[in-house]
Amino acid sequence: MDNMDISKIHPAADQPRKVFDQGKLLELAVSIMERGVLEPIVVRPVGPDEYEIIMGERRWRASQMAGLTHIPAIVKDQSVEEASADALVENFQREDLNAVERARAIKKLLGFMSWEKVLKTLGCADSTMRRYLDLLELPDGILNELTVKPQAGEGDFIEGHAYALKPLNGNLKLQLRLAKKTRAERMSVEDLKKLIASIAEVPDKTEAFLRVPLNVTEEILRGIHRQVQKRKPYQPKNAESHLKTMQKACLSVLDLLDERVAMHLPAKELNQMLSSTADLAEQISKFNRGIRDALKKTDIQFKEIYIHCPLCGRIELIGSMRCSVCWSVLRRCLDCNHYDQSYQRCNKNHSAIFMSDAESPSETSPSYKCTDYDPVVEVQAAA
């Protein structure tokens, strides 16, 4: 080991590490000033009084920062390929080497080693090595993004994000905008994949998708899907399942309709909420008109009379026969203006109806499909 003149040493041109953390270099420089260089660097002669670093460029740089004029070094008389291999392996094994530098190190080794020998030398799995090399199929602009540290308030742009952008190779401008959006909105890899899939599905909306948050993109897509679905022939076999899903969704929305939320939101959010509910109300109104028209065509006795279910209180049309929630019979003689409780009879058709049947009717009860049913109280439903 020699204590060599630091000015006669220079880094290798093909050194795999291209990015050095200045903060960590400064920490190492401070340590060197206090304790010296604890581990010598390794160099090889490349000319008269000239040496190239094989291992230890960080220590060499930090020593310069610390103001050292000499540095402990071990001289090895190696060929370019041998020195390159040692440097690549040494750097590959460092935890702080980024993915791009690792990929380039592997590619360099494959220039003078077989695939199997590189695997053995680096001690990594075949799939890991292939994944690193796949990264190099991305344009340099995206590879550079992997080496950039996030600014305050930004998220990381990691390998997973970069791999997600591979299908967009050939459109670097879009890839870079997506990388910037990923950082700015702190998007996960899965979020980025969803956004890319949205762009692929509706290319005409690319600019909109790039400008709005992912949740808005998903809402735009839902709107598009609704329109596309409505243009397709309806499958009658889906009608019953469709009805159940709608009823469940309606109950969920009803649970959320609590105007007290307005007391705790600023005007901007209240405007957004009203826009959403107004749009929903308009679509429901349009849907209801279609259902009314269908009922009028298929049920000549249709009357839009809403009543409370006697058991669970749900608002139902009397034409429903049974409550959709608790399945109770809706038309009860007990709730009809024609029923005389004292004489337990119907004043309209003068038939006898016992109180037990009037209060808890079944499908065999006179009230079940009674066309003269006239509820004591009608409930006003939304138009």
Active site residues: 57
Distance of CA 259 to the CA centre of its chain: 30
Q: Taking Cα atoms as reference points, which of 331, 302, 299, 326 lies closest to residue 314? A: 326
- The torsion angles phi and psi of 11, rounded to 5 degrees, stand at -70, 160
Measure the N-to-C terminal CA separation of the chain; round to a whole number of Å: 92
- The torsion angles phi and psi of 308, rounded to 5 degrees, stand at -85, 135
- 339, burial (CB in 10 Å: exposed 0-12, middle 13-18, buried 19+): buried
Angle at 120 between CA 95 and CA 137, to 5 degrees: 65
Residues 6+ apart with CB under 8 A from 16: 87, 88, 91, 92, 97, 101, 102, 104, 105, 108
DSSP strands (E only) in 103-193? none
Whether 202 and 212 have beta carbons less than 8 Å apart is answered as: no
Residues 6+ apart with CB under 8 A from 172: 139, 141, 142
**DSSP characters for 259-288?**
GGGGGGS-HHHHHHHHHHHHHHHHHHHHHH
The pair of structure tokens assigned to 244 is 């159940």
Q: Taking Cα atoms as reference points, which of 140, 148, 202 lies closest to residue 165? A: 140
Strands 41-47 and 70-75: parallel
